[in-house]
Amino acid sequence: MEYYDDIVKKRNSCRGFSDKKVGDDVLNELLQYYEEEESDLVDEIETELKFYIGNVWDELKKSVGYNGFCIKAPAYMVVFSEVADHYLENAGYIAQGLTLRMTELGLAACWQTINDAEAAKAALEEDTDKAVACVVAFGYRDQDNDEKKAPKKSLDEMTDGFKFGQDIDTDTFYSSLEDGLRAIAHAQSFQNLQPYRIIVDYDQITLVGLPDDMTSEADRLLNYGIVMFNFYAVMWAVRPTTPRWSFEPVTDRDLGLPADVTYVAKCKY
């Protein structure tokens, strides 16, 4: 419960940063976490992590930001990735681990929509064969900026039992999965739309995507990575043998998915 209460629950997006500089010691902590502790969703995909401090916003805002609005921050974290199957989900998974580490270090963060990945790479003046997979603005929260937290769906709204749309028996499942499922309900998503749902069965949970016209394809896939990391991290904190997520299709049961609902991944427990 401590990891959920002390870290995941405290992680809230920030749109107003102070001018306080993010020190090299903090950046080194994040880099060390990425190199030594970070867990990948897809181990075979090569990634790179880079930080940008100072005046990159003027150029970055031309290709990054939801509806053209890029959050101005003292620092930006960028995950570059080899382009492969599930590379965006993997990047979201990696970056979520880093943003939760930021929370531990007293930093605030805000995910940015990438409108043009090639233009963003050019704005950052990077010569790499990897793509810009995700951009996160970060720094210290401006305490004078009175931000209202966007509402999120309740856990009951996000979970089904056995099949899509079927009520879940909380007495049966919550004793062993409650913290992990609550971490999913608290996960960040672009504009907090949370266009996904979890189907809980006796031996696995399944993540499915819901139709949503306001979320881009790239943001949708990053969302899935964020959700999967939150569940894995909280469950790992209490049960280190927690299995990894798998993109392999579900063939041993009928999930009852409507035509407009998409299977994403499963995690056996």
71-101 pLDDT tens trace: 999 999 999 999 999 999 999 999 999 999 9
Q: For residue 145, give Cα distances in angstroms to 16, 18, 84, 148.
A: 6, 9, 40, 10
Q: For residue 22, give Cα distances in angstroms to 52, 58, 108.
A: 10, 19, 11
Burial of 1 (0-12, 13-18, 19+ CB in 10 A): exposed
Q: For residue 265, give Cα distances in angstroms to 7, 103, 128, 250, 269.
A: 24, 27, 30, 8, 13
Asked whether the whole model's pTM tops 0.85, one would answer yes
Separation CA 103–CA 97 (nearest Å): 10
At 178, list the tokens.
């409650």
Residue 253's pLDDT band, with cuts at 50, 70 and 90, is: very high
Strand, coil or helix: 201: coil
Specify whether the CB–CB gap between 111 and 190 falls below 8 A. Answer: yes
Separation CA 81–CA 94 (nearest Å): 11
Separation CA 30–CA 45 (nearest Å): 20
Residue 13's pLDDT band, with cuts at 50, 70 and 90, is: confident
Q: For residue 32, give Cα distances in angstroms to 24, 25, 65, 77, 102.
A: 12, 10, 28, 14, 12
Q: Please, which residues have CB within 8 angstroms of residue 8's CB and are 6 or more apart in sequence? A: 100, 183, 186, 230, 233, 234
Q: How many residues does the chain have?
A: 269
pLDDT value of residue 1:
42
**At residue 184, does pLDDT exceed 80?**
yes
pLDDT value of residue 200:
95
Select the more confidently predicted residue: 193 or 77. Answer: 77
**At residue 9, does pLDDT exceed 90?**
no
Mean pLDDT of the chain: 91
Q: Please state, as a whole number, how many other Cβ atoms lie within 10 Å of the Cβ of residue 242.
A: 18
Residue 150's pLDDT band, with cuts at 50, 70 and 90, is: low
Nearest of 143, 99, 112, 116 to residue 62 by alpha carbon: 116
Please, what are the domains in the chain? 2-139 (3.40.109.10), 155-268 (3.40.109.10)
Residue 63's pLDDT band, with cuts at 50, 70 and 90, is: very high
Q: Where are the alpha helices (DSSP H) in the chain?
A: 2-3, 24-32, 57-60, 87-104, 117-123, 155-158, 170-185, 217-238
Specify whether the CB–CB gap between 250 and 163 falls below 8 A. Answer: no
DSSP lists the bridge partners of residue 131 as 81
**At residue 241, does pLDDT exceed 80?**
no
pLDDT value of residue 147:
62
